[in-house]
Amino acid sequence: MIIREVSEEDLEAFVEDYIKAYSDLKEYKYTLKKDIKNYFKWLYKRDKEGFFVAEVDGKIVGFAAGDANWINSEGEKVLEIHEIFVIPEMRGKGIGTKLIEKLLEYGKKKGLKMVELWVGEKNYKAIEFYKALNFREIGHGGKWIRMIKLLDS
């Protein structure tokens, strides 16, 4: 497996893999391809250095988008994880963990002290995944749970 920075050429793979990854999470996903493409472009524009892709045997199997330019609701600059997914047939192989580790490493490189994300309250597998990586719940907003993790210096 390799993890590399995303490129604009990864757009179509992002759309295809996003649709697969969110097939069972309908209330949390974009449904139109043009919206998914616009989401990719927004993530890329926000922080292309913090946007990563995982490949196995030359096939793209997951993405993770962090944003080191984010200011949270408390006015703190944090690494915001906007997106992370692995296609269903490749889950349980450590790919998501490697993507998170790459994001945490990126946040540290940027001198940030905290990483945060929002996860769907019914996305139970993702919540357990984040908890296993020492993220903790700190609040709710609508159908979302806010989770944070402190970054070691």
String of DSSP letters for 8-34: GGGHHHHHHHHHHHTTT-GGGS--SHH
How large is the C-alpha radius of gyration of the chain? 14
Please say whether the beta carbons of 118 and 74 come within 8 A.
no
Q: Give the pLDDT confidence of 118-146 residue by residue, as tens digits.
A: 999 999 999 999 999 999 999 999 999 99
pLDDT at 153 over 70: no
Both tokens of residue 117?
Answer: 């994300």
Distance, C-alpha 119 to centroid of its chain: 10
Q: How confident is the model at residue 152 (pLDDT cuts 50, 70, 90)?
A: confident
Query: What is the rounded average pLDDT for all residues in the chain?
Result: 96
Q: Where are the alpha helices (DSSP H) in 7-137?
A: 11-21, 33-47, 95-109, 124-132
- Tallying the residues shown for the chain, one arrives at 153
Among 23-32, 87-96, 111-120, the range scoring the smallest mean pLDDT is 23-32
Strand-pairing partners, residue 153, are none
Which pLDDT belongs to residue 78? Answer: 98
pLDDT digit string (tens) for 38-76?
A: 999 999 999 999 999 999 999 999 999 999 999 999 999
pLDDT classification of 26: cutoffs 50, 70, 90: confident
| CA count, 13 A, side-chain hemisphere, 18 | 22
What is the rounded CA–CA span in Å between residue 134 and residue 136?
6
Looking at residue 57, its pLDDT comes to: 96
Q: Are the C-beta atoms of residues 134 and 101 closer than 8 Å to each other? A: no
Cα–Cα distance for residue pair 152/116, rounded to 1 Å: 14
